[in-house]
């Protein structure tokens, strides 16, 4: 450490006095009652200001369908060579 960089414990402590983490502010969803960030859509049900912004249930279902199709394709590819022997 170079001498000009040296700080007293007090200076270091003063600088670090602002380093504490704060808990995030959360508000309750009016639709499902889950905690969500204020001025943000509820990540549990997709509601904001009393209306659906993103249909999370439909999104989840389409994702599951896609994953199932993918899994089936992989299973089919893995099973076929064994059956052909
Ligand atoms: Zn909600």
pLDDT in tens, 18-30: 999 999 999 999 9
Count: domains in the chain: 1
Residue 63: what pLDDT? 93
Does residue 63 fall inside a structural domain? Answer: yes
Q: Which domain, by its residues, includes 40?
A: 23-79
Span from the CA of 62 to the centroid of ligand 1 (angstroms):
20
Does residue 56 fall inside a structural domain? Answer: yes
Q: What is the pLDDT confidence band of residue 84, given thresholds at 50, 70 and 90? A: low
Distance, CA of 41 to CA of 1 (rounded, Å): 49
Inform me whether the pLDDT recorded for 83 exceeds 80: no
Does residue 40 fall inside a structural domain? Answer: yes
In the beta sheet, which residues pair with residue 47? 52
Maximum C-alpha span of the chain: 78
Average pLDDT over residues 51-78: 91
Span from the CA of 32 to the centroid of ligand 1 (angstroms):
4
Span from the CA of 77 to the centroid of ligand 1 (angstroms):
40
Which of 10, 13, 56, 9 lies closest to 32, judged by CA?
A: 56
Task: Using only the alpha carbons of the chain, give its radius of gyration.
Answer: 27
């Amino acid at each position: 450490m170079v001498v000009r960089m040296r700080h007293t414990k007090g200076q270091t402590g003063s600088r670090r006095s602002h380093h504490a983490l704060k808990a995030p502010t959360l508000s309750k969803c009016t639709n499902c009652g889950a905690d969500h960030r204020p001025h943000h859509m509820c990540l549990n049900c997709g509601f904001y200001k009393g209306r659906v912004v993103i249909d999370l249930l439909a999104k989840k279902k389409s994702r599951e369908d896609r994953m199932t199709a993918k899994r089936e394709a992989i299973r089919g590819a893995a099973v076929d060579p064994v059956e052909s022997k």
